[in-house]
Amino acid sequence: MFYIGLDCHGKWTTAAGFNPETGEVLRLERVSNGPGEMAKALEGFEAPFYGVMESGTNAWAMYREFLPIFERLTVVDPSGVWDRRSDRQAKTDHLDAMRMAQMLYRGQIKGLYIPDEVTQDLRVLVRAKVRMSRWVTRLTSEIGSVLKSWGYVGNRSLLSKSGKAQMGKVHLPNHSAKVLKLWSELLEKAQEIEDELQAAIEEEAANDPECAILQTIPGVGAFTSLLVRAEVGDIARFPKAENLVSYIGLSPRVFQSGESCHYGGLGNWGNRWLRYALGLLAQRVAASKRESCLRRTYWRVSFRRHRNEAKIAVARKAARIIYGMLSQGEVWNESKHRRAKAAA
């Protein structure tokens, strides 16, 4: 029996661990990440193996490669294991792997949710769409910056037909004209990719039952529904709605001591993709004229607080509603989400 920590990198993995019954120590330096290499390296050691590894770029691929070797393999969030600001010990791959093995043996490791291949594939799709939309925005800003530097200030969006027509009539010096032409070509290509990704998202969402449920929420379309479905994964992994709210990063920070309790702002943790999707939903709710419990929440909070706080409240309420709909398999029901009237 060995408890083994795995420090995975792009090309190799360092493994370190120990047998608590015999005291035997295991140390494997830079084992290739190729198929079957880790199994060969562990052949001389006594099974079963209990492993732990950090999440990262290639974590899910290596998890599926290592899983048949281990009796139990856990993936952990590095931020939940290390505190580099207070840790003054030496840092090497071997020491990190051994510390993870020791924490696993002591029961100090909290594993992450492991997405299946379908869920991981959908995450790649929706995250690519988010990144491409941001690149389109950035390229548009770059083109606008070039035009403004020469005194051209249009009253049309550069992404509209009239805006592109105005941009084609602009006359700039040699190098500036070349830069503008290259930026414009890159923007056109980025928009084509964005449209292709959106078409793939709409196709996937049309065939997914959870997306069909989510799209009954006012303001939720194919992109938002598929992003929520991909990032949430199995809704049963959340015991209650507040766990999902915390996972997204919409729970306020709490400072409590004795009888004093203060709620602060939001932290920088949580699933940023879900926070982005629900933030867009809150923006649409704020601009919508369609009556719903989400819109009432926005205006109720905005009368007392800043509008940004009202949008956070909408996103938090939407997360709770999404949890209830997915966990119970129910479509949107406006009457179910109405606030109970106060007794006279």
Q: For residues 140 and 158, give the distance between their C-alpha atoms in angstroms, rounded to a whole number.
A: 7
Q: Do 246 and 200 have their domain in common?
A: no
- In a domain? residue 233: yes
Q: Do 125 and 237 have their domain in common?
A: no
Q: Do 176 and 281 have their domain in common?
A: no
Last residue of a domain, one of 173, 207, 241: 207
Q: For residues 268 and 107, give the distance between their C-alpha atoms in angstroms, rounded to a whole number.
A: 27
pLDDT tens by residue, the chain, 344 residues = 899 999 999 899 999 999 999 999 999 999 999 999 999 999 989 889 999 999 888 899 999 999 999 999 999 988 777 766 666 677 788 998 999 999 999 998 888 899 999 999 999 999 999 999 999 999 998 988 888 888 877 666 777 777 777 777 788 899 999 998 899 899 999 999 999 999 999 999 999 999 999 999 998 999 999 999 999 999 999 999 999 999 998 887 676 677 777 666 676 778 899 999 999 999 999 988 888 888 898 899 888 888 888 999 999 999 999 999 999 988 888 776 565 444 33
Q: Do 182 and 224 have their domain in common?
A: no
- In a domain? residue 34: yes
Q: For residues 188 and 198, give the distance between their C-alpha atoms in angstroms, rounded to a whole number.
A: 15
Residue-range definition of the domain harbouring residue 68: 2-106
- In a domain? residue 112: no
Predicted TM-score (pTM) of the model is 0.85
- In a domain? residue 125: yes
Cβ atoms within 10 A of the Cβ of 233, count?
18
Q: Does residue 192 sit in helix, strand or coil? A: helix
Last residue of a domain, one of 40, 72, 106: 106
- How many domains does the chain divide into? 3
Q: Burial level of 256, CB count in 10 A (0-12/13-18/19+)? A: exposed
Long-range CB contacts for residues 270-274, cutoff 8 Å, separation at least 24: 270/246, 271/231, 271/247, 273/123, 273/126, 273/127, 273/130, 273/227, 273/231, 274/227, 274/228, 274/231, 274/232, 274/247, 274/248, 274/249, 274/319
- In a domain? residue 342: no
Q: Do 133 and 198 have their domain in common?
A: yes
- The closest of 213, 215, 253 to 235, measured between CA atoms, is 213
